[in-house]
Structures are given as structure tokens and as C-alpha cells.
Amino acid sequence: MAYVEDDGTGNSTYKLTIGGKGGIIANESMIRYFASFSKMTSIDLSALDTSEVTDMSDMFDSCSSLTSLDVSKFDTSKVTNMGSMFSYCSSLTSLDVSNFDTSKVTNMDSMFGGCSSLTSLDVNNFDTSKVTNMSGMFQDCGGLTSLDVSKFDTSQVTNMSDMFNGCSSLTSLDVNNFD
């Protein structure tokens, strides 16, 4: 079951809830599932089982009104593609991806690109040992003042163009361990 309801702000924006008895098992491919839901301020995915998902590219791309998104319980252990997963979620101020298992991910291009309102982002535990593309990963994240990528393994990366382009509020960035 999925339903949309007015979010009560008076801005013609909505809340999306997805649920089902015993939960919902997500498809292996979640490509663009919620992309361009530009009028959604929140999406309740607490009943979504993502344990079989392999591709989350563009999943929330251009959800520009999202102010709340809880993905902290996502099982990402089989995911190989997170390209543009949260790109242009420009109203999010925080996003908890600290428990993401990224050990199989090869593509993180533009993963957070255009998330201009993010003020915090914990990617400290990301396993990037298989990632080949990080281009634009944090591009235009102008609200971030700090970002810890010191543990990133970039030994397989072949493209990191514009990775930090437009991160105008970063006061320091430790890339000493980048290969």
C-alpha cells in the first residue's frame, strides 16, 4: 500500500508513505524509484526491506522538497551502484548514511551532488575499496563545513572529477590518503 497526504504546510507539498503487512520487499533495481518527487517533503520507508537491492542509482534524484528522509535502516550490502542516489535533494539538512554497507559499490558519482543544504554528512565508515567513479560525489554541497573522507580507499578510482567542486563552506579537507 502506498498513499500520499498533504503535509500540512499549505505549500502544496506532500508526505508519501509506503507500507504493507509484514513489510515490503524492494526490487533488485530501485533506479529512479522516487526520482523527481519534487513536491514530497517526507517519504516514510520504514517498512521497506532493501536487502535484495543491487542498484540504488538516482533513487531520490531531484526530490528537491524533501526535508526528512530516514534511510538509516537500509540494508545496502548487495548494492553496487549508488550514483546520483541523493542528487539534488536540495532541502535536506542532514542525512544518516553512517550505517550504509558500501563494500560492493563501484559507482558513487554525484551521490550527494546538489545537496546544497546538507550541513552534516557522516561518510566516515564508507568502504570505498571497489569504487571506480567518484565524480561529482559531493559537488555543490555548499552547506557542508566539514567532511571526513580521510579513510576513503581510492586505489580503484579512475574518475574523481568535480568531486568537491562547489563545496564552498568546507574549512578543511584531508585527502592525504587518496591514491
Query: pLDDT tens digits for 26-67?
Result: 999 999 999 999 999 999 998 999 999 999 999 999 999 999
pLDDT at residue 152, rounded to an integer: 97
pLDDT at residue 68, rounded to an integer: 84
Rounded CA gap, 116 and 161, in Å? 18
In this structure, are residues 88 and 115 in contact, taking their beta carbons and an 8 Å threshold?
yes
Average pLDDT over every residue of 139-145:
96
Query: pLDDT tens digits for 56-96?
Result: 999 999 999 999 899 999 999 999 999 999 999 999 998 99
Burial-class residue 117 by CB neighbours within 10 Å (0-12, 13-18, 19+). Answer: middle
Rounded CA gap, 112 and 120, in Å? 12
Rounded CA gap, 71 and 148, in Å? 20
SS3 (DSSP) at 16: strand
Q: Taking the model in full, what pTM does it have?
A: 0.93
pLDDT at residue 144, rounded to an integer: 95
